[in-house]
Amino acid sequence: MPSSIESAEKAGRLTGPVPWVAMYHSVGDCSDDPYRVTVTPGRLEKQLRWLRRRGLRGVSVAELLAARARGEGRRLVGLTFDDGYADFLDHALPLLDRWGCGATLFVLPGRLGGDNAWDPLGPRKPLLTADGIRRAAAGGVEIGAHGLTHVDLTKADADTLGAETAESRSLLQDLIQSPVDGFCYPYGTVDRRAVDAVRDAGYGYACAIDPGDLNGVHALPRVHIGENDHAVRLFLKYRLHRLRRRPVEGL
Ligand SMILES: [Zn+2]
């Protein structure tokens, strides 16, 4: 059965500029952070306050796309957190609640309770356990899949590609006892074959970073937000994103 987003897309009801989706990873101490994937709780709070002052509100990607399908949601910004770090529950979720924001958390069901072993440099950061993911879902956070184990899908063989897309979805659906509609490409790397695998696995949407010609509901562009993104830089990223990206087909 097609998702509501796909149905709306086919019905031609999605129009307008490309949605703005912010990409976060870890929220905590960023003193040792060679990949620049960490923001401090203080910085995240300032960024959420910045959104509020501009009349914008952070929501999950599912909520953002559903609003766009209704012809609404121009003041909504997607907030995504990749990898499913354990610090999400302690540091991000309380701030999202305080500022009335939703978010999407992209997790790795093949690394429950593990760590970011795919990053050769930098500190090991613990990932959420199954129970932690359920607690995030119970807190109103949309849970999406980031594959099984954080593999570059553009370099995966057919069996791995199938497992990282379809198996991660079924494992997560069993884990949270709820449909999983969103996928996020590890490293943001994406090609046509990966997009087709994600669509065939039943996902209604997928997040990339800079998908180029693959731009679409299964390869949504996102903007990296880091510790150095104070108000002026956030404003520039927000404006430049809208100017530089051509509209997503049908979105
Ligand atoms: Zn990742």
Task: Name the pTM for this structure.
Answer: 0.90
Domains and CATH numbers, the chain: 39-116+124-227 (3.20.20.370)
Return residues with CB closer than 5 A to ligand 1 (ion): 82-83
Ligand 1 centroid to residue 184 C-alpha, Å: 8
Instruction: Name residue, tokens 């910045």.
Output: 50
Q: Which residues contact residue 102 at a Cβ distance below 8 angstroms, ignoring those fewer than 6 apart? A: 58, 59, 60, 63, 79, 96, 140, 141, 142
Ligand 1 centroid to residue 185 C-alpha, Å: 8
Residue 117 vs residues 3, 21, 85, 126: alpha-carbon distances, Å: 33, 26, 12, 10
Ligand 1 centroid to residue 12 C-alpha, Å: 32
In this prediction, residue 54 carries a pLDDT of 92
DSSP annotation of 124 reads -
Instruction: Return the closest-CA partner of residue 13 out of 68, 76, 77, 78.
Output: 68
Ligand 1 centroid to residue 61 C-alpha, Å: 17
In this prediction, residue 14 carries a pLDDT of 39
| Both tokens assigned to 182 | 């969103």
pLDDT in tens, 92-128: 999 999 999 999 999 999 999 999 999 988 789 999 9
In this prediction, residue 37 carries a pLDDT of 87
Ligand 1 centroid to residue 52 C-alpha, Å: 27
| Both tokens assigned to 145 | 């899949």
Q: How confident is the model at residue 129 (pLDDT cuts 50, 70, 90)?
A: very high
Ligand 1 centroid to residue 25 C-alpha, Å: 8
Measure CA 111 to chain center.
18
pLDDT at residue 9 greater than cutoff 50: no
| Both tokens assigned to 66 | 């559903």
Ligand 1 centroid to residue 116 C-alpha, Å: 9
Residue 196 vs residues 142, 186, 190, 201: alpha-carbon distances, Å: 23, 16, 10, 9
